[in-house]
Amino acid sequence: MLSLFFTLALLGKTFGERPFINEADTGIDDVFGNTPAGELIPLDGIVGLPDFDWAARRAMSLANYSYYRNGAGGEWSYRNNLEIHNKFPLRPRAMIDITNVESTLPTTILGHNVSAPFFIAPCSRGAYGNPEGAERGLIEGAAAKNILYMAAFYANLQMEEIGALASDNQTIFRQVYLNQNDTETQDIFDKAAAAGAKAIVYTVDSPANGVRHRAARFGVGSADSSYSYITWDEYARLKTMTDLPIIIKGIQSVEDAQEAVARNVDAIYLSNHGGRQTDGIRSPLEVALDIRQQAPEVFSQIEVYADGGVRYGSDVLRLLSLGVRAVGLGRPFMYANVYGREGVEKAIDLLRQELAWDAGNTGVADLRNISGNLVQW
């Protein structure tokens, strides 16, 4: 009997504690596994967004890759962001004419026309992956494909340089981290407006430094390690300092989403900072689902954006089905930027095609009319 209990315990450990898989095995290692460290595989060898992670990991220095890849603490939130999507299976409908689904991909974000309901989320230190161009590939790739680019506050390029590289009337939002120095804050807002930014992205999900063990090991910790004064009254005061709309990035609860509506916030962005700040917190998908179940009116009262572990078109579908207006991706585009503009453009094309195909295969004829019934929540 003891041997049976011992065997069952071993089986439980074996099957209950499966290893985390950073990306699916699609054969990339079989084809390009002999590529020397420090070299990129051919861009035409990339067939999906996870391939960019694999390629960047081989080509970048370990320290620089770790800055992009790291999560907080034991990295449960990082892993959960990636895995949570497939805990909610899709419910395809058949016998529907989906032949024009690609024409329904364009949308608006705060009134600005974009070609797809996803965007490049703000990520710092573009030069870690592309020492020569830094964020240039992100800017130009987004412009070429007409998607929103959110410029990171700790980008290697200054806002003036980003504005100079942007195409005419390109849709760029400016992420900010702020202190209580009004002179500095006013300068940040004025430079953003002068560079052509269409909105401010006020980051509120990192009021303290993140516990990042992986990053600390390689000396590539948080770009912003100070305590920050972030309150609703402070948001209202900041609104008096610029004519640009101010999006709150980092909403993680129903209560805060409702408070944002009550305070006439311009838009909210559901995010847990890519799982980089606090381990053990929910994914943005779970937050969006919570809002949909407890306060569905929020999605009609304010524009809601979200990110978090998005790697496939089906991930975008799930968030859109809950009422999210546009979906952000950070790490995948930073890995794609290792290839420069061409890599960023390919990443956009791959995700756009996946989104259209996944929509068609699940019976979504019009992404503008997608319903939560698409998913088994």
Chain mean pLDDT for the chain? 93
249 is in an annotated binding site: yes
331 is in an annotated binding site: yes
What is the structure's pLDDT at 133? 98
307 is in an annotated binding site: yes
What is the structure's pLDDT at 222? 62
Whether residue 54 is contained in a domain is answered as: no
What is the structure's pLDDT at 213? 76
Whether residue 349 is contained in a domain is answered as: yes
308 is in an annotated binding site: yes
Chain-centroid distance of CA 265 in Å reads 21
Whether residue 374 is contained in a domain is answered as: no
67 is in an annotated binding site: yes
Q: What is the pLDDT of residues 69-80, one digit of tens each?
A: 988 889 899 999
19 pLDDT more than 90 = no
177 pLDDT more than 70 = yes
Identify the residue with better confidence: 37 or 22: 37
The number of domains in the chain is 1
Whether residue 375 is contained in a domain is answered as: no
268 burial via Cβ count (<10 Å: 0-12, 13-18, 19+): buried
Helices 136-145 & 341-361 angle (0-180, nearest 10): 40
- Tokens representing residue 124 in the block: 């710092």
What's the rounded mean pLDDT across residues 38-57?
98
Query: What's the CATH number where 274 sits?
Result: 3.20.20.70
DSSP-assigned states of every residue in 162-223 = HHHHSPTT--EEEEE---S-HHHHHHHHHHHHHTT--EEEEE-S-SS----HHHHHTT---S
What is the structure's pLDDT at 223? 59
The domain in which residue 277 lies consists of 101-367
61 burial via Cβ count (<10 Å: 0-12, 13-18, 19+): middle
Whether residue 162 is contained in a domain is answered as: yes
**Any catalytic annotation for residue 112?**
no
309 is in an annotated binding site: yes
- 82-101 burial, b at 16+ Cβ within 10 Å, e below that, comes to bebbeebebeeeeeeebeeb
pLDDT band at 210 (very low <50, low <70, confident <90, very high): low
Whether residue 129 is contained in a domain is answered as: yes
Check if the beta carbon of residue 214 is closer than 8 Å to that of residue 232: no
177 is in an annotated binding site: yes
- CA gap 366, 299 in Å, rounded: 18
273 is in an annotated binding site: yes
Whether residue 58 is contained in a domain is answered as: no
- CA gap 332, 120 in Å, rounded: 9
Whether residue 68 is contained in a domain is answered as: no
What's the rounded mean pLDDT across residues 113-127?
98
Catalytic residue among 85, 112, 213, 273: 273
5 pLDDT more than 50 = no
- CA gap 11, 29 in Å, rounded: 29
Identify the residue with better confidence: 92 or 26: 92
pLDDT band at 115 (very low <50, low <70, confident <90, very high): very high
